[in-house]
Amino acid sequence: MARLVMVVEGIVLVVAVYVTAALFHGEPFWSGAGTLAMASRAAAFALLGLLSFYYHDFYDLRRVRAFRGFNRRLPAALGLWLLLLAGSHTAWALLGWSHPADVSSALCLAVGTGLIWPLRGAFYAFLKTPRLAKRVMILGTGELARKIAAEIHDSPQLHYHLVGHIDDDSHHRNEPLGPMPDPVLGSLENLAEIVKQYDPDLMIVALLERRMRLPMIDLFNARVSGTLIEDGVELYERCTGKLAIEHIVPSSFLFSRDFVKPPWLLLARRLLSCGVATAGLVLTAPLMAVIALAIKLDSKGSIFFVQDRAGLHGKPFRLVKFRTMHPPVTNADPSQRHWTSDLVRITRVGKWLRRLYLDELPQFLNILIGHMDLVGPRPEMFDNVKAMAEQIPYYALRTTVRPGLTGWAQIKQGYSVSRDEVTEKMRYDLYYIKHMSLRFDFRIGVDTVKNVLLRRGT
């Protein structure tokens, strides 16, 4: 739904800017080559606006969940839009090109905003109208069912209205989770009567125990009557962008073709990674020279930090970063370094390098050598892999692709210092591997730039 909102707002902005500029300059709406030039300028103008909106999370409906939040961020978004227009105007002028921002820019921005604002208001009103939402019923009251219910409550863009749960009684035996936060409509044995009474549009099957308990006849009759039936694990994956690894049976991985990627995709990703790494090394070489000098002057020790990490198929490689910490204490307990980080050892220069993510620049070398790709799961410390594989389900699947400089788990979860956080990142990593594509990589790259600019953990 967020993509639909972006497309609609983009079209509205292009049309608004085009018509406003034409009326302002007294030009006809259709004049051959002149129309094409004016349309391209309107598209560039609108694109800068969408970029500003994206930067302010207007298309992340989990962050901007209500019209009030949109209004609170709107002034800052408009300010950034103006700055982008001013900056691009300077660049265009230096190149001698015709620029989309001229004396009518303020008027175009006002008209575009005046159209977007009521559209957003109507959109949020639509999301908050239960009568227009899909009526959802969840089969199950265990951990997975509760996670799905929480996701429905936290995701207004789904436009789901949770009617309640069907009690499968399994959580009383296996999961002492406490009282249900949502209504329990009845037991699994009375499913047919409950469906007839509440008439859901969608039923989500999130039973902990399905063998000999799944009411196939009742579900089939409900499906024939028009109710959609969806697997809870698949819905959780689609809505959250991560896998519910505790609730996935091993056969889902053994027989799935989603984790086998075509050779052309792997080759294209490799060529893209090498191209970006080469350009990155060339463009940042002067900056890296300055960083190296600053590290040497700031503290004792080497310029680079080199560590064994797990690469493709679990093979070790030497990852290179700029050093951001003082040398470790020699008598420290190695077992304490598995899940904790000694932040007190960070140097003054290292603090800024980490904040700006400049300590990662030498990893372009790892990409060119073939240890890493541009996008993928972050490489874990080699000494920790065995312990993690024993504690986290399906952890070894992370090594079926090359690790990356950035990744889906990095932009969603950030740094991890505990086993629970590593497990959460694992859910995102497996989702990425399952859905890996060039389009997905592009999205991760764009989101990485956004997170760096917003100084979110990556």
Taking only the tens place, the pLDDT of each residue in 14-48 is 888 888 877 776 666 566 556 777 777 788 888 99
Q: Is the pLDDT of residue 4 over 90?
A: no
Query: So what's the pLDDT on residue 377?
Result: 93
Query: So what's the pLDDT on residue 28?
Result: 60
Side-chain-side CA neighbours of 225 within 13 Å: the count stands at 15
The SS3 call for residue 319 is strand
**Segment 190-241, tens digit of pLDDT:** 899 999 999 999 999 998 777 767 888 989 998 998 999 999 999 999 989 9
Percent of the chain topping pLDDT 70? 87
Q: Name the residue ranges covered by the structural domains of the chain.
A: 2-127, 132-240, 263-454
As a whole number, the mean pLDDT across the chain is 84
Query: So what's the pLDDT on residue 101?
Result: 46
pTM: 0.83
Domain 132-240 has CATH 3.40.630.10: no
**Segment 393-431, tens digit of pLDDT:** 888 888 889 999 999 998 888 777 677 888 889 999 999
Query: So what's the pLDDT on residue 340?
Result: 44
Query: So what's the pLDDT on residue 458?
Result: 52
Query: So what's the pLDDT on residue 88?
Result: 77
* CB 321 within 8 Å of CB 359: yes
Q: Is the pLDDT of residue 338 over 50?
A: no
Mean local confidence (pLDDT), 358-387: 92
Where is pLDDT greater, at 23 or 184? 184
* CB 32 within 8 Å of CB 92: no
Query: So what's the pLDDT on residue 407?
Result: 92
Q: Is the pLDDT of residue 262 over 50?
A: yes
Q: pLDDT category, 339, cuts 50, 70, 90?
A: very low
Long-range pairs for 299-306: beta carbons < 8 A, 24 or more residues apart: 299/326, 299/347, 299/348, 299/349, 300/326, 300/327, 301/326, 301/327, 304/362, 305/359
Q: Give how far Cα 64 sits from Cα of 117, 123, 155, Å.
A: 14, 12, 10
Q: pLDDT category, 92, cuts 50, 70, 90?
A: low
Where is pLDDT greater, at 435 or 458? 435
Query: So what's the pLDDT on residue 304?
Result: 93
Q: Give how far Cα 41 sits from Cα of 7, 21, 79, 89, 115, Å.
A: 18, 10, 20, 12, 19
Of the candidates 256, 264, 251, 191, which has an alpha carbon nearest to the alpha carbon of residue 225? 191
